């Protein structure tokens, strides 16, 4: 889990660093070769045609503050990714927990009744863990619902704006190099949220199989009847789909991610 989180954060920091840097490099090259203003961030003042030394210094200062503001505001990704990756691995831990319950019946030092009692108590504890994990997932949805919605909406709009820029910059190599990294960064940023949310759904859907394979068939007589009822109730609860959504209807998953990319491409194809 920690390795995955580190990999995502390094990829995010690296891609955003390249994207922000190339904006500055492109403006610097234009400033040196074509004597164009150093413009990376469009501001109310100075205006784009202002060529005074003060205006150029202010643009550089705004560019540096843009870096600071971007990485400061990006801190919420750390929180969202930590929650999503943690929840996904918690469902994986629950699967492992239920699969390992079968080992109780491999202990030759306990009687059959002791094994059955220990299995029942362990299975009940697993149900308690599952219930707590569902509660955590619901809280994650409640806390991040507005962030999910704004993320999907904002990045879809950015994606639609970047595609025409890439198409129009085919003859300008420098402009294409400046636009391509932010385009990739936009895809990756959207993917971070939707991929990990999809992982939660996928891992949660595997839990009923783990419960079924927990070793309930090793119980006999009246204990078997009680255990079967317990397993059926637990599996029924686990079969309820665990889905994180944006706007209450847009499922955050791999399929939705591809659908958004296709929709953005379709919109650009119609107008361009």
Output the 3-class SS for 174-188. Answer: HHHHHHHHHHHHHHH
Assessment of whether the complete model's pTM goes beyond 0.95: no
61 half-sphere exposure, CB direction, 13 A CA radius: 9
Angstrom distance (rounded) from CA 110 to CA 125: 20
171: pLDDT confidence band, cut at 50, 70 and 90? low
Taking a C-beta distance cutoff of 8 angstroms, is the pair 228, 119 a contact? no
Among 13-17, 182-186, 224-228, the range of highest mean pLDDT? 224-228
* DSSP three-state, residue 246: strand
Residue-wise pLDDT for 36-65, tens only, equals 889 888 888 888 888 899 999 999 999 999
Pick 154 or 220 by higher pLDDT.
220
Region at 143 (left for phi over 0; alpha for psi -120 to 50; beta for the rest): alpha
Residue-wise pLDDT for 95-129, tens only, equals 999 999 999 999 989 999 999 999 999 999 999 99
Residue 272 has pLDDT above 80, yes or no: no
Residue 184 has pLDDT above 90, yes or no: no
265: pLDDT confidence band, cut at 50, 70 and 90? confident
Residue-wise pLDDT for 217-256, tens only, equals 999 988 899 999 999 999 999 999 999 999 989 999 999 9
Angstrom distance (rounded) from CA 173 to CA 169: 7
Residue 140: predicted pLDDT: 94
Domains and CATH numbers, the chain: 73-271 (1.20.1050)
- Tell me which residue has tokens 């078997």: 224
Measure the N-to-C terminal CA separation of the chain; round to a whole number of Å: 43
């Amino acid at each position: 889990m920690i390795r995955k989180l580190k990999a995502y954060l390094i990829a995010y920091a690296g891609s955003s660093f390249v994207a922000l840097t190339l904006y500055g490099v492109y403006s610097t090259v234009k400033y040196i070769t074509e004597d164009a203003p150093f413009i990376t961030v469009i501001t109310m003042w100075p205006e784009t045609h202002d060529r005074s030394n003060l205006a150029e210094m202010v643009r550089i200062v705004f560019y540096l503050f843009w870096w600071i503001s971007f990485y400061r505001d990006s801190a919420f990704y750390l929180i969202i990714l930590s929650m999503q990756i943690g929840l996904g691995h918690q469902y994986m831990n629950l699967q492992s927990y239920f699969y390992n319950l079968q080992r109780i019946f491999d202990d030759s030092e306990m009687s059959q009744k002791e094994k059955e009692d220990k299995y029942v108590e362990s299975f009940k504890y697993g149900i308690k863990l599952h219930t707590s994990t569902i509660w955590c997932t619901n809280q994650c949805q409640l806390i991040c619902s507005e962030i999910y919605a704004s993320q999907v909406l904002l990045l879809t709009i950015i994606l639609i704006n970047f595609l025409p820029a890439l198409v129009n910059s085919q003859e300008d190599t420098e402009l294409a190099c400046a636009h391509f990294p932010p385009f990739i960064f936009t895809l990756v940023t959207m993917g971070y949220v939707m991929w990990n949310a999809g992982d939660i759904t996928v891992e949660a859907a595997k839990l009923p199989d783990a419960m079924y394979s927990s070793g309930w068939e090793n119980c006999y007589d009246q204990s078997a009847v009680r255990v079967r009822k317990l397993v059926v109730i637990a599996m029924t609860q686990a079969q309820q789909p665990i889905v994180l959504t944006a706007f209450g209807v847009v499922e955050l998953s791999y399929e939705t991610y591809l659908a958004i990319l296709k929709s953005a491409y379709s919109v650009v194809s119609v107008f361009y």
